[in-house]
């Protein structure tokens, strides 16, 4: 059984508290892996590393950031069956769902790599004759992301890759149900040659890790995907600390079936939408 350490500032480190949790396979309740859990000391270490690295990473050439993200994509693509196996065992994904998630993640890495060259500025009209005014888009600094369990690799990577492309440093708190999926992103970025300090993954309880990230003034932005209840709490705390935030809050949407539509087909489509599971007759 594999044991996963924390990834802090580019290093795999054991938990200071000594707390190692069982990461369970939801399909059968068996222990999939042992995962080190972050506490206040590890959160401080991750924030300190990200804050200390922010200016160097912001000043890294777009071409160099691009190369790192492309190498990370290549690593994921070359080892996709291993990543899919772990995603299946940790999150309960089907093979089709896990492969779809990871193939899209390869695209996200490469899309983010391309975006490194598109962080530009512009020219705006000036109030003075014979002069022009310009503006630049600059990194915000340290960004923290909180990821969900349902698409744990893809939805976390959406946050991480584009923030790094823009020159921000990043701290990821993966879902407590799927911590290894977040640590697998660290594997890709380490293989890509990401400089130390730029990225950390710190699994741990929301009331310890999440709250500490929210309250620290060095963290300038929080990005979250998860429940409306937690998202509402994050919005309040972020506003109180004058942080930027983005929230993607979930929920089951209503399904409206018109009277002239085939009911059996509607059920099949709804089942696929909720569980990515096809009936024997397929989707159509």
pLDDT in tens, 244-261: 999 998 766 778 899 999
Residue 277: predicted pLDDT: 61
211-250 residues labelled b (16+ CB within 10 A) or e (exposed): ebbbebeebbbbbbbbeeebbebbbebbeeeebebebeee
The residues spanned by each domain of the chain are 3-118+141-251
The secondary structure element, H or E, covering residue 134 is: strand 133-135
Residue 48: predicted pLDDT: 97
pLDDT in tens, 96-148: 889 999 999 999 999 999 999 998 889 988 888 888 899 888 999 999 999 99
**Average predicted confidence (pLDDT) for the chain:** 92
For the chain, how far is it from start to end, CA to CA, in angstroms?
Answer: 41
Tell me how crowded residue 4 is: count the other CB atoms within 10 A of its CB.
Answer: 21
Q: Give the whole-angstrom CA distance, residue 90 versus residue 74.
A: 23
Residue 279: predicted pLDDT: 53
DSSP notation for 46-104: HHHHHHHHHHHHHTS-HHHHHHHHHHHHHHHHHTHHHHHHHHHHHH---HHHHHHHHHH
Q: What share of the chain is helix, strand, coil (3-state, %, to 5)?
A: 45, 20, 35
pLDDT in tens, 55-84: 999 999 999 999 999 999 999 999 999 999
284 pLDDT band, cuts 50/70/90, is very low
The domain defined by 3-118+141-251 folds into Aldehyde Dehydrogenase; Chain A, domain 1 (3.40.605)
pTM, to two decimals: 0.89
């Amino acid at each position: 059984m594999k044991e996963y350490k924390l990834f802090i500032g580019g290093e795999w480190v054991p938990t200071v508290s000594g707390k190692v949790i069982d990461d369970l396979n939801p399909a059968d309740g068996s222990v999939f892996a042992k995962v080190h859990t972050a506490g206040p000391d590890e959160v401080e270490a991750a924030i300190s590393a990200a804050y200390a690295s922010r200016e160097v990473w912001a000043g890294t050439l777009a071409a160099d950031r691009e190369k790192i993200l492309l190498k990370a994509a290549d690593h994921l693509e070359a080892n996709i069956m291993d990543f899919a196996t772990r995603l299946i065992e940790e999150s309960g994904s089907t093979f089709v769902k896990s492969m779809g998630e990871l193939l899209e993640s390869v695209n996200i890495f490469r899309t983010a790599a391309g975006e490194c060259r598109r962080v530009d500025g512009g020219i705006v009209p000036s109030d003075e004759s014979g002069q022009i005014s310009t503006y630049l888009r600059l990194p915000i600094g340290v960004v923290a992301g909180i990821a969900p369990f349902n698409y744990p690799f893809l939805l976390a990577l959406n946050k991480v890759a584009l923030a790094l492309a823009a020159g921000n440093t990043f701290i990821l708190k993966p879902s407590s149900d799927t911590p290894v999926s977040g640590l697998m992103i660290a594997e890709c970025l380490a293989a890509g040659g990401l400089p130390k300090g730029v990225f950390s993954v710190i699994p741990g309880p929301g009331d310890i890790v999440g709250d500490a990230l929210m309250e620290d003034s060095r963290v300038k932005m929080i990005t979250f995907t998860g429940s409306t209840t937690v998202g509402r709490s994050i919005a309040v705390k972020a506003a109180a600390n004058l942080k930027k935030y983005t929230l993607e809050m979930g929920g089951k949407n209503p399904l409206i079936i018109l009277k002239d539509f085939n009911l059996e087909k509607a059920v099949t489509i709804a089942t696929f939408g909720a569980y990515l599971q096809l009936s024997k007759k397929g989707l159509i």
